Amino acid sequence: MADHGMRVGQGFDVHRYSDDPDRSLVLGGVRFEGERGLHGHSDADAVAHACIDALLAAAGLGDIGQLFSDTDPAWAGADSLELLRLAAGAVRDAGWDPVNVSCSVVIDAPRIAPHRDTMRDRLSAAAGAPITVTARHSEGVGALGRREGVAAWAVALVARQPGTGEPS
């Protein structure tokens, strides 16, 4: 089987909105104070989670739930940028270097564009590789259009570290 030393991975995440008034919306490592938060064991950062799943999938390391169980109290309220940093470390430990990640999030409000560069910078710093974020409106379609939650998709590219042979 030809091996070009590169792998892609895909990630998806969705979180429903929380009724807990103490939770704030967190996306791409940016906290939107005063905006209704998402339900989740961690800070429910769907953008960071999709990026994590894409990186783990590319490296053949399973998914976010295997690394950071949502029943483990260690990750309760976790900063997902820290989870991303740990996941990128696991990818490197497995013999792969993250090359880049591209994430798209579907959300109608608040506007993401003013925060896009901050998200890019924080996510990229956590992963040690460029991560870009784009945002789409739902056009009113389905559960996302009814503002029941937020969904994010990501793709990641990883490259085999020099001299590490052919990890599976």
Footprint of Mg ion (CB under 5 A) = 13, 49
Q: Which is nearer to Mg ion, 15 or 115 (CB)?
A: 15
Q: Residue with the closest Cβ to Mg ion?
A: 49
Q: Which is nearer to Mg ion, 49 or 160 (CB)?
A: 49
Q: How near is the Cβ of 52 to Mg ion at its closest, in Å?
A: 8
Q: How near is the Cβ of 18 to Mg ion at its closest, in Å?
A: 13
Q: Which is nearer to Mg ion, 84 or 158 (CB)?
A: 84
Q: Which is nearer to Mg ion, 3 or 20 (CB)?
A: 20
Q: How near is the Cβ of 161 to Mg ion at its closest, in Å?
A: 28
- The tokens of 126 are what? 């956590």
Q: How near is the Cβ of 2 to Mg ion at its closest, in Å?
A: 34
